[in-house]
Amino acid sequence: MAAVTRSGMRAAEASALAAGWSEEQLINLAGSRLGHAITRHFPHPGTAVAYLGKGHNAADTLVALRVLRDDFGWKIALRNAFTIERCAPLTQEKWLELGIDVPLNQGPPWQELRGPLLLLDGLIGIGVQGELRHPLLPLVAEMEWLRQHAAARVAAIDLPSGIDPDTGEATPGAVTADVTFMIGNAKKGLLMGHAANSVGSLALVPLEILTIPDSDEIELIAPQTMEFGKSPRPYDFHKGQAGRVSIVAGSASYPGAAALAATGSLRGGAGLITLHVPEHAAAVITAKCPPEIIVRGFASHRELWDIECDAIVVGCGIGELDASTATSLLDWIENCTSPTVIDADALNLIAKSGRMGIFNDRHVITPHPGEFARLAPDLAGLPRESAARIFAARIAATLMLKGSRTLVARYNQALWCNACGSPGMATGGQGDLLAGVIGARLAIGDTPPEAAALGAWLCGRAAEIALDDPSISQESLTPSDTAHHLGAAFQDWKCAGR
């Protein structure tokens, strides 16, 4: 889905009004969809407190609050910056329809609440520019205190108050959100890497009447607007049709990386997974793998030339290789005709050797920021988005630049930005799992950009779902937790359930 600017969103709203929609109809639709989107992201009912300004952003929030209460059993409360008489007429109307006469006159009694405490930032929308002022600033400070000290989560409505929707820049005192529910369209500035700490994960609340067509600049990876990866399997489907993935990974020092990559391909839907590992490490790696994985030891990379498969994953945990062995492996990568995920240590070998011409249009390369800096040291210091575009223009491969806002870039295509994930994924092994998932998607026939985008979204969403389990926290989340929830993430992708 195309990301829009403030002016583009206003034009979309004007077009809807010209087509016969009323402002109240738009508010009711947006608020209702918003309420349902919030419950998909926060499935366990608790207490939702709406922090309200006086414009239509507050009106959307009030409608959503009614959905949370009436349809899903949430307890609700209001914290208002202005009296009802000072609010926009439609905001007054939605407040009265909600039926709460007395808002809270101080922060919620968080010690007494059961279930999650969710704070809805409905203070200002995209129509307001400039720094936040009194009486909004004390409410923002209160929200932040509850987020830091009372385990509250902050959900921003359309954008966090005080964040510029065009640039992603934060004004002093801006809201810090855990998730931002963007209404109608993704907002361009909120997709920028430098905005990630302010906006959190991103969720789309689609309103067809406001949707802007795809662009060639930057788009959100979202199941609401992307069609690949959703077709059901035919009833007579068999493992050969699901794809054969060959994984070259692991070493005596890093046996877990190989096992996680293989698990990613298994959970990602591949029909047959063969894990090729150094002969001397085969026993320890086999012991860590699911029983469905075929493990084959090799004494030399020359043995890899006989591999027949639908996709390859190479590099996870192979460690540093001597010059001769590295050259042998890179020669094999360069001459493989199967779609290939090139990850981790294989990328470091390419950077060290200077063989950037090795990449072709069948490849997906998956560097984290450190690996990317070794591949393109001249791009250090540039914004992630600019660096990804420039690098993608240099190579034939699809680039997945990992990070808190993972990017998928390919020359002459829009930059794709992933919406989901969690800081809990900052654990060794998540990238190995991801590489395996991408390999599975390549094996079944997704294009390299599709495989990369879907893999990033699935792993990010699986981590989010894992964190819905009260026994799992951001601190305790493991790649195995993410792997265990990939099935639920697939379901959410297919039905646009996030």
> What integer pLDDT is reported at residue 145 of this predicted model?
98
Query: Residue type for 345, please?
Result: D
Residues forming a β-bridge with 201: 179
Q: How far apart are CA 17 and CA 472, in angstroms?
A: 46
> What integer pLDDT is reported at residue 151 of this predicted model?
95
Pairing of β 407-409 and β 201-205: unpaired
pLDDT in tens, the chain (498 residues): 679 999 999 999 999 999 999 999 999 999 999 999 999 999 999 999 999 999 999 999 999 999 999 999 999 999 999 999 999 999 999 999 999 989 999 999 999 988 899 999 999 999 888 899 999 999 999 999 999 999 999 999 999 999 999 999 999 999 999 999 999 999 999 999 999 999 999 999 999 998 777 666 899 999 998 999 999 999 999 999 999 999 999 999 999 999 999 999 999 999 999 999 999 999 999 999 999 999 999 999 999 999 999 999 999 999 999 999 999 999 999 999 999 999 999 999 999 999 999 999 999 999 999 999 999 999 999 999 999 999 999 999 999 999 999 999 999 999 999 989 999 999 999 999 999 999 999 999 999 999 999 999 999 999 999 999 999 999 999 999 999 999 999 999 999 989
Residues forming a β-bridge with 416: 219, 408
Burial class for 77, CB neighbours closer than 10 Å (0-12, 13-18, 19+): middle
Structure tokens at 165: 């929707």
Structure tokens at 152: 């509250």
3-state SS track over the chain = CEEECHHHHHHHHHHHHHCCCCHHHHHHHHHHHHHHHHHHHCCCCCEEEEEECCCHHHHHHHHHHHHHHHHHCCEEEEEECCCHHHCCHHHHHHHHHHCCCCCCCCCCCHHHCCCCEEEEEECCCCCCCCCCCCCHHHHHHHHHHHHHHCCCEEEEECCCCCECCCCCCECCCCCCCCEEEEECCEEHHHHCHHHHHHHCEEEEECCHHHCCCCCCCEEEECCCCCCCCCCCCCCCCCHHHHCEEEEECCCCCCHHHHHHHHHHHHHCCCCEEEEEEEHHHHHHHHHHCCCCCEEEEECCHHHHHHCCCCEEEECCCCCCCCHHHHHHHHHHHHHCCCCEEECHHHHHHHHHHCCHHHCCCCEEECCCHHHHHHHCHHHCCCCHHHHHHHHHHHCCCEEEECCCCCEEECCCCCEEEECCCCHHHCCCCHHHHHHHHHHHHHHHCCCHHHHHHHHHHHHHHHHHHHCCCCCCCCCCCCHHHHHHCHHHHHHHHHHCCC
Tell me the domains of the chain and their CATH numbers: 3-213 (3.40.50.10260), 239-495 (3.40.1190.20)
> What integer pLDDT is reported at residue 1 of this predicted model?
62
C-alpha pair distances (Å), 463 with each of 196, 400, 456, 458, 497: 17, 18, 11, 9, 15
> What integer pLDDT is reported at residue 214 of this predicted model?
63
- Give the global pTM: 0.96
Q: How far apart are CA 280 and CA 286, in angstroms?
A: 11
> What integer pLDDT is reported at residue 497 of this predicted model?
87
> What integer pLDDT is reported at residue 127 of this predicted model?
85
Cβ atoms of 78 and 52 closer than 8 Å: yes
> What integer pLDDT is reported at residue 129 of this predicted model?
87
User: Nearest-CA neighbor of 438 among 360, 331, 389, 365?
Assistant: 365
Structure tokens at 384: 């992630």
